Amino acid sequence: MVEKGLFDLTGKTALVTGGGTGLGRIMAEALAEHGANIAVCSRNVTHGLETADFVTAQYGRKAEAYSCNVAVEEEVIETVERVIEDFGPIHILINNSGTTWGEKAEDMPYEAWRKVMDVNLGGTFLMSKYVGRQMIQNREGKIINIGSVAGIKAEPADVLNAIGYSTSKAGIHHFTKDLAMKWGEYGISVNAIAPGFFESKMTRHVLSENQEKIIRKNPLKRLGDPGSLKGAALFLASRASDHITGQIIAVDGGSSL
């Protein structure tokens, strides 16, 4: 048996938003593989149940799924209360839920802009607020926000034309730094992962038209792979990152350089 040491999450509970599919599921599996029990929340609870069932079958961890729209405060409050009732303290929060809207800035409906902001920024704030309250009481916690390379550098319109998404992710990056400053005294670390292009439902359309161009411009000449994201999430969730907070880690093959 391999000694996990600094990366051992045995006895920890992780709440992963948007954990039913894509990058969220990848990160939930990574934490479960190293000992964490997993609470998954998703607007589509069926996907969340698939993740929870896989985690239990594959790794023998306790796992539950919850239906939650992270942009609705009442649903966030109820979900956090239910997770604490079912699992006890939440030690790790991964704010992964997100949405996007591809459109020229001059043509984007304001309703679309608001939807992206409400889910990406608003949901990250609400989950952090209500999970953070019990982390403050317990004086420990790891919060991992999922930003994006799109929030670090601007892309030309022919690669990514989603100004609301990019702006929301830049906001998440600063929210991460500000919250890390405010909550460090309580033993809470707040960091962010900024993925580059990975194959997912959200990136499917962009990659279908621009994958060769994106790979060609990437210093490592490839898209992201699940292992890369698993490593970053595990690092930030574990004791290995105990002296790291307020940082934005780009997992992008160097595309943000």
Q: By CB neighbour count within 10 A (0-12 exposed, 13-18 middle, 19+ buried), where does 102 fall?
A: middle
Amino acid at 243: H
| Choice among 66, 110, 165, 186 that is catalytic | 165
User: Token pair 């796992």 is at which residue?
Assistant: 63
Of 187, 190, 194, whose CA–CA distance to 249 is shortest? 194
Contact at 8 Å (CB) between 245 and 184? yes
Contact at 8 Å (CB) between 19 and 45? no
Neighbouring CB atoms inside 10 A of 110's CB total 8
Q: Is 130 a catalytic residue?
A: no
Listed in order, strand segments (DSSP E) in the chain are 13-17, 37-42, 63-67, 92-95, 141-146, 188-195, 248-251
Supply the residues annotated as catalytic.
165
